[in-house]
Amino acid sequence: MSYVGRRGIHYLQKLSSPNVASTLLENGQNRVVDASLTLIRERARLKGELVRALGGAVASASLLGVPLGHNSSFLQGPAFAPPRIREAIWCGSTNSSTEEGKELNDPRVLTDVGDVPVQEIRDCGVDDDRLMHVISESVKLVMEEDPLRPLVLGGDHSISFPVVRAVSEKLGGPVDILHLDAHPDIYHAFEGNKYSHASSFARIMEGGYARRLLQVGIRSINSEGREQGKRFGVEQYEMRTFSRDRHLLENLKLGEGVKGVYISVDVDCLDPAVAPGVSHIEPGGLSFRDVLNILHNLQGDVVAADVVEFNPQRDTVDGMTAMVAAKLVRELTAKISK
């Protein structure tokens, strides 16, 4: 937890004394949450109206930042990632076209509804149960503005649970998930935290929000990760067999018979030579072109996606990992928009 978070929550805990009515704190928290959701709602509404007025878009990616890092078991720098990713997207070092020819400057391809104010909400003493619901509700507000589809900027990987939950609930059924990561993130409750970034996919599978979960790039997995994978029927593709699995993974067809495809990209799926700015450095990962081949060749209706676990505090090589994360966002935008 950040110093600011500790300070705010500690102060509010002090207020929970016989001299302070509990309703005072609860009413204040309600106002902050309502204001936060109102801002997301109105920004999404404006961007949705703009895209609909321009016409011609069946689906349009819309950025939603979730700057959350306190559920990380190691470093909490991913909380600072969303603005760094946006800066890299628009920094001017490259043009605005994706590899498949989509123009990011066109709002029918990409819009931005801003960030869920995670720290401000937590500073009011809101617990993680409610915070996760705020994130889910924020995602649903984006989805209400057809044709917008959420492309979420993390944050640590704990955000994938409330995002996938929202997508599944809003669409009325499970999705297929393509999860690229060095780790399976499927512990039951890592270090006792059910919302740990290492437990997000356990929550997703328990909730019935995914039919198929394919995990690609795995190279840090223990017995619990494998047992949990078997329990939930997860298709785990480890890096030690990637050369054998490559053809399959570069020709995936997902989403038939369910509500679409969700893509979750943990930046540490990549080899640290490509992306050193992550909290958990695991050598022996995917190349950037490996990831793009998997994404570009995927057949399926991508209804939402996230890019998580970029840690700007470890991005010491001239912002290289920020550019890597931005490129992932750009190519996911092209995959979503149509």
CA dihedral 117, 122, 127, 128 (to 10 degrees): 50
Backbone angles phi, psi at 262, to 5 degrees: -115, 135
Supply the DSSP string of 132-185, one letter for each residue: HHHHHHHHHHHHTSTTEEEEEEESSGGGHHHHHHHHHHHHTS-EEEEEE-SS--
Residue 10, marked binder = no
Backbone CA torsion sign across 169, 188, 213, 288: positive
Predicted confidence pLDDT, tens digits, the chain (338 residues): 444 445 555 565 665 556 677 898 899 999 999 999 999 999 999 999 999 999 999 999 999 999 999 999 999 999 999 999 999 999 989 999 999 999 999 999 999 999 999 999 999 999 999 999 999 999 999 999 999 999 999 999 999 999 999 999 999 999 999 999 999 999 999 999 999 999 999 999 999 999 999 999 999 999 999 999 999 999 999 999 999 999 999 999 999 999 999 999 999 999 999 999 999 999 999 999 999 999 999 999 999 999 999 999 999 888 999 999 999 999 999 999 99
pLDDT in the model for residue 37? 98
Sign of the C-alpha dihedral, residues 35, 36, 41, 46? positive
Q: Is 296 annotated as a binding residue?
A: no
Give pLDDT, residue 12: 57
Q: What does pTM read for this prediction? A: 0.94
Residue type, 22: S
The reply, when asked if residue 266 is annotated as ligand binding, is yes
Task: Give the 3-state secondary structure of residue 307.
Answer: strand
| CA atoms within 13 A of residue 100's CA, in its CB half-sphere | 17
Asked whether the CA dihedral 293, 297, 298, 302 is positive or negative, the reply is positive
Nearest to 130 by CA among 180, 195, 188, 189: 195
Task: Name the token pair of 227.
Answer: 């047992």
Q: Is 156 annotated as a binding residue?
A: no
Distance CA 143, CA 265 (A): 20
Full DSSP string of 234-257: -EEEEGGGHHHHHHHHTT-B--TT
Distance CA 264, CA 176 (A): 11
How far apart are alpha carbons 149 and 303 in whole angstroms?
Answer: 6
Q: Half-sphere exposure of residue 332, counting CA atoms within 13 Å on the CB side?
A: 31
